[in-house]
Amino acid sequence: MILYAVYRVGHFITLSLPRSFTYWLGSRIADIVFILNYKTRRLIIANLTHALGNDNDRIRACARKILRNFAKYLVEFLRFEKMGKEYIEKNVKIEGVENVRGALKSGKGVIAFSAHLGNWEWGAALLAQLGFPISVIALAHENKHVNDFFISQRAIKGVKNIPLGGSVRKTMELLKKNELIGILSDRDFSDNSVRINFFGKPAVMPVGIGLFAVKCKCPILPVFIMRQKDNTYKYVLEKPLEYTLTGNKDADIRTVVQKATNAIEKYIKLYPEQWYMFDDPWKNVSGR
């Protein structure tokens, strides 16, 4: 209940106070967490080292910014009620909407994948605001009240929720209706994963997009929404991944997941200070 109370208080504060102040407040809290939480700080630096190599100066500069940007992401998620058409027109530059429309012409639905990068919740909300029917596959929070709060925040912007457990059947139903499904593809939350290369090293990634590509032969669309220096956003909707199915299920899944991971790598390298990976994708890869 404590966590739920924190979100409710945060929700009230972000709606009551100017956005610029809540950004500042969130960033100061993030600085405190960065200083006091050694485990999180060490994990952030380790992941950045995988992504950026031995560029120590850049790693140090990005590490603290990650938690600050994550705080801003939370502020915006809590402020969804105030992020309407006027806000979108003023603060979001969208590129590639025609790629979504073109992908939907297949009639097989579309998997729109992203990563824990930028503001993925806002990315899904924008697709809904543009008139596309979209559901997101999301890990349920342990606290039911927190989980219900997150679902209700998404619903404010027209985004439907699919719980991660048992998501395959529901996703396939929606794809048959030619709808969009949003998936984050840079963190494995289950044992249903595949071993691929991530920044040149073996890692485990969720199998989802590869599985849906094999089962539904639907377009797989990379989508990334990234914060700019002035706190506006650039939203890039890329052309669908090109993939060919060979009939070897395991190999085809691995190929699609690897292609998606390569796309994710590109944006992490461009915006490493916005990669909110609080886990180690390279752990426990043996036997996968």
* Digit-coded pLDDT (tens) for 248-274: 999 999 999 999 999 999 999 999 999
Average pLDDT (190-211) is 90
| Spatial distance between the Cα atoms of 228 and 222, rounded to a whole number of angstroms | 19
Whole-number pLDDT of residue 57: 87
pTM to 2 decimal places: 0.93
Average pLDDT (269-281) is 95
Band the pLDDT of 288: cuts 50, 70, 90: very low
Whole-number pLDDT of residue 3: 87
Quick: pLDDT tens for 140-180: 888 999 999 999 999 999 999 998 877 888 999 999 999 99
| Spatial distance between the Cα atoms of 33 and 25, rounded to a whole number of angstroms | 13
Quick: pLDDT tens for 170-197: 999 999 999 999 999 998 877 778 999 9
Nearest alpha-carbon partner for 250 in 288, 197, 203, 198:
288
Quick: pLDDT tens for 17-74: 999 999 999 999 999 999 999 999 999 999 999 999 988 888 988 999 999 999 999 9
What is the residue extent of each domain of the chain?
Answer: 2-274
Contacts 24+ apart (CB under 8 A), 262-266: 263/222, 263/238, 264/114, 264/115, 264/117, 264/185, 264/186, 264/222, 265/51, 265/198, 265/199
Q: What is the DSSP letter of 179?
A: -
Band the pLDDT of 285: cuts 50, 70, 90: low
Whole-number pLDDT of residue 191: 72
Joined together, the tokens standing for residue 242 give 């090109």
Count Cβ atoms within 10 A of the Cβ of residue 131 and give its class: 0-12 exposed, 13-18 middle, 19 or more buried. Answer: exposed
Residue at token pair 């999180």: 40
Quick: pLDDT tens for 66-114: 999 999 999 999 999 999 889 999 999 999 999 999 999 999 999 999 9
- Amino acid in the structure at residue 234: K
